[in-house]
Structure formats: C-alpha cells, structure tokens
Structure 1
Amino acid sequence: MSEDHSHLGDMEVRVRALQSLLEQQGLVDAAALDELVALYEHEVGPQNGAKVVARAWVDEAYAARLFDDATPAIAELGFSGRQGEHMVALANTPEVHNMVVCTLCSCYPWSVLGLPPTWYKTPAYRAKAVADPRGVLEDFGIALPEATRIRVWDSTAEVRYLVVPMRPAGTAGWSEEALAAIVTRDSMIGTGLPVAA
C-alpha cells in the first residue's frame, strides 16, 4: 500500500524516501535516527546559544567571563563539545557589527547553534561574506547605518565564534527566558538581529 505524500514538500518526500531505503537495506536504524533527530531538536541547537546571549545581557560578570574566555563561560551553562571546544564570543555594538563565515568549509559551533543552515555552507555565502559583507546583510534584510563597521570572522577547525547581538531597546526588565526567546540563530552568526515583538 502506498502512502499519500501530496501534503509534503519535494525535499521532505526525498528525505523520507532515502530514509526508507536506508532502513530497508539495514544501513540505518530508525530508532537511532529518531534519537539523533530528537537530540538536535531539543538538546543541541540555537536555543543553547540564545541562553548564553540572554545570560550575557542580564549578567555583567558572566558577560565579562564570556568575552574573556568563551569556552569555559559557555560550559558554565552546560554547553560544550560538538565543534564548540574553542569558542570566542564577539559583541555587536553600534560601532561594530560582527559576522561569521567559514571560507574553507563549514566550521560551525554545533553545541550552541545546532546544525549549520544550508546557506552557511554554500560557496556563494562564503565568498560574498568576505567580499561584500554589507551586501550579505542586505540579502538577509538587515540595513545597518553606514557608520557601523562590519567585521567578518573566519571560523576554523581551531576557533569558532558566537556573535552576541545588541540587546534590543524596550527589553529592560525582561526575564532571561523571554530574552532568549528573541535571539535567533542568524543573530548569533551575525546575519540577523534579535526579533523583539
């Protein structure tokens, strides 16, 4: 009996077909795959980095530790490993906006940002981020003042970066949880801004 997949997008249909084939061939265990997906949905992902950013916004002592030596400061919140062993935190300010790229491949801090977005790994993003960072930001719908300098950081196998975006105006008195909810993955790469309602 065939299943009706008409409600699924083309990519999802392809992924399901590939998964089914791998399971039938005994190359993938469905339970192990479900466990891996759940890990990246609930334990590893941008929600971890958002918690780091929110803590830095509300706790000056934590922010000082984060900008001094990010790896142990991030580990204080229980996030380490998975390509996050050597972290550097970068603070966005009105004068400087930081953006991260990996020009050689796709080095990315999985422990705080989860799986890298597809666009992060594309040659087009990697090249344009270096040659025209303001243009990349415009592609993402971000228009910064001309006076704001854009600094591009090249992630490597040895060092990975976490951008700490500026805290949006009007969020004074917000809880850490509420602040974390407005921090996006893209804002921690530097290609976006926090989304305050």
Structure 2
Amino acid sequence: MNFDIRQIITVTMVLFAVIDIVGSIPIIVDLRRKHGHIESEKASLVAAIIMVVFLFAGEELLNLIGIDVNSFAVAGAFVLFFLALEMILGIRIYRDEESNSASIVPIAFPLIAGAGTMTTLLSLRAQFYAINIIVAIVLNIILVYFVLRSSGRIEKLLGKNGLGVIRKAFGVVLLAIAVKLFASNVKALFV
C-alpha cells in the first residue's frame, strides 16, 4: 500500500478548494428554501460515488465518447463561470425543472462532484496514489455531509446579510477557479 499522510493532506486541501463547500453554503440555503428538504446522506453518498468512479474510469469514459480531458475542463470552467456570475450578480441563469428534492441535482452533481472536481481528480491521479486520493475524497465528503446537515443552523448564525457577503466573496473565488481552469486547458485545444 502506498498510504502517505502528506499526499492525503495535499489532495484533501486541493479537493476542499475545488469543491468549495463553504462557498456553496448560500446556494445550499437557497436550494433548501426552494425545495424544503435536502437529503444530506444521499447527496454526499452520490457525490462520493461519482468522484471515485470518475477517478478510475473518467479518462476512459471521456475517450470513449471522444472528449479529451482539456475539452472537459474547459466545459467545466464555463459551468463554474456561470455559477459564479449567479453568485456575484444575484441573477439566475440556470433554470431547473421543479423537483421535491435537490439532493442529486444540483447538489451532488454538479455542485460537489462537478466538472471542476472531476478534472481535478484526473490531474491528481497523474501525481498521487489512488488510495491517498480516495481517503481525501472520503474526508471531503464527511465535511460536505456536515455542512449539508447544518445548513439551517449556518443560515441562522450568519443571517441574510452574512450569507450575501459570503455568496459574493466565494462567487469571486469560484470565478477565479473557473478562469484558471479555462486558461490552463484552453491552450491544449488549439495545439
């Protein structure tokens, strides 16, 4: 086994930044208001499964449908870009169909296990051992679960103004991640 605490810490921090569950709190609170209920366990479990499956089969799956990793990353950058615009400008671009729960879409996918996370997993797979990445995924999913579970208390603690400030600040961070993801992958599309 290639179990390495340093790798686990590094990968956990990278995934924490990309998943950005703290920055997603305002989105989660909005979804909870719209849908009334978020199944924390279901959303966390589905996100974990998506990430682990994509860790091992992502590149092959993309190759099978004729998409390279760079194209996938650029598409993910656009999704993150529009989510960031929604957060910063307070507008709604994405119109979803009504459902009684927001657990799978959009929380598990694309909020937690979105294109940015999946692209990051493929990049991490090239640098770190799979066992360490899996442990880092589990640690992040535990944190995601607790944030989803506590979203009501977090909303009360921060209040409407606090959530607004966090939403805009993390919108800018998400926008920066989108720009970086786009810039680091778009060159490869024209080579």
Whose strand proportion is higher, 1 or 2?
1
Please give the TM-score of this superposition, normalised by the length of structure 2. Answer: 0.28
Higher RCO, 1 vs 2 (CA within 8 Å, ≥6 residues apart) = 2
TM-score by length of structure 1 reads: 0.27
Q: Which has the higher helix share?
A: 2
